[in-house]
Structure 1
């Protein structure tokens, strides 16, 4: 069990052939909110000119470079080397969670196996990352969404317990033909407008079903519990829609009422439930 004060023990594995060096600071910042990143490795063929930008980042953040030559043209062996190391770490060091930085769907079977063995997997990749890889992760963040967050938004969200949707969960990747909830079909750096959110039937159904599962007798559900319920169901992060917190995304849909906003007690209720007529009291006079 992870130490409650330190949080999770995290192994970060980076596909340097398939990830930008300039994003590593934001990735480490994100993972550090969850626990201690005590294993940091970047894989690639370091003889390639295209990887020269990684050198200063590796030294700055204490990331161990793992050399992997290409065994044939137009193919690289980086993904296989990462997979072998991940499996070894799973059964030797036994980290509580893995961070996988790549936009390569070939890692999907690895992610599903790691999660089946009880490890959370936090994925980071470009917006065009194939959906099976995105959906297999406990949580997946587009690298584009890790920039431009207003100052103070992340701290407020964590204080309110809105990172609960990052909890480990078992998930089966849905059809590749439709984007899964939490995976909007638009650049993650743009805030999805209300009109588009309200047309996203899958997203609204996901949010409404979660509210129904967590609501009290008056129809109110704590946003923290809501995030946990959604995270246990599918890979989801409000920032992939351009919103810093789950409560801001809920408000933007204009489909929910919110109370106690800006506090750890923030709660939400489906507006349809609030408008539903109340049943008559038994025994009331005619």
Structure 2
């Protein structure tokens, strides 16, 4: 994915905890320049007070949206309308939709149909339809760094929240290697990672407790790793193949 994308970051304030904002914006910056940053919600609600403290520090523009009908989330409509306005303005070539709400599934699909790159960010409770409608989906929980002041019990809770590398995950990785392997069974790890992302937008080594894909595959007995000198520059390229 391009690193020079101009991104519109649209945050569902009713649906995302404010404690994630710093790590969330740091993550978004890896994929492009967040030239537009807006958050939507009814700022008269006490539940959004915590957000007010971080908006100025992070240059996020709050968009007021009153709840016209009890039980209905008008924030969704305001965010969707704004997204389409931004799309037609031609000022961005990508969006980051920050929500755990499946109501944004159709929006993500429509933006991608228009040629936009769409990054979804939300909690693990996010429904699958929204996840698979994005080019890449990132769980907020893996971005929230463990504080050095946290108790040991809290750290254990975080460790237990890491996904296990199940047979289904192993098969996904092995089949992806098979899709890309050369005559000797080797596949370039960079291409494997890119194809894994296309197959499963929420695939992320951090979900399994690894910072990168390389240490994840190194932990798997079913995979052999070979480091080769990069013929086009400095450093090495990592190739992998199945031993299963």
TM range (shorter): 0.7 to 0.9
Residues 58/148 of structure 1: CA separation in 2 closer, same or farther (3 Å cut): closer
Deviation at 1:216, TM superposition (A): 2.2
Residues 207/40 of structure 1: CA separation in 2 closer, same or farther (3 Å cut): same
Aligned length: 227
CA contact under 8 A between 1:141 and 1:240: conserved in structure 2? no
Q: C-alpha offsets along residues 151-206 of structure 1, whole Å, 9 cap, x if unaligned?
A: xxxxxxxxxxxxxxxxxxxxxxxxxxxxxxxxxxxx8973344xxx2x432x2232
Q: What is the aligned partner in structure 2 of residue 214 from structure 1?
A: 180
Residues 32/264 of structure 1: CA separation in 2 closer, same or farther (3 Å cut): farther
2:132 aligned residue (131, 135, 143): 135
**Higher relative strand content:** 2
Deviation at 1:225, TM superposition (A): 1.0
TM, length-normalised to structure 2: 0.85
Alignment of 1:227-246 (within 5 A): 227-235=193-201, 236-246=203-213
TM, length-normalised to structure 1: 0.73
- Counterpart-to-counterpart distance in 2, 1:239 and 1:136: 21
1:255 aligns with 2:227: no
2:240 aligned residue (268, 276, 279): 268
Q: C-alpha offsets along residues 36-91 of structure 1, whole Å, 9 cap, x if unaligned?
A: 10000000000000101111211001011000000111222001100011111111
Q: C-alpha offsets along residues 223-268 of structure 1, whole Å, 9 cap, x if unaligned?
A: 111112222333122222332112222233322112239x651121
CA contact under 8 A between 1:144 and 1:188: conserved in structure 2? no
CA RMSD of aligned residues (A): 2.3
CA contact under 8 A between 2:119 and 2:135: conserved in structure 1? yes
Please list every run of at least 4 consecutive aligned residues from structure 1 whose deviation after the TM superposition is greater than 3 angstroms: 187-193
- Counterpart-to-counterpart distance in 1, 2:236 and 2:16: 35
CA contact under 8 A between 1:101 and 1:124: conserved in structure 2? yes
Unaligned runs of 5+ in 1: 150-186, 273-286
1:191 aligns with 2:158: no
Bigger radius of gyration = 1
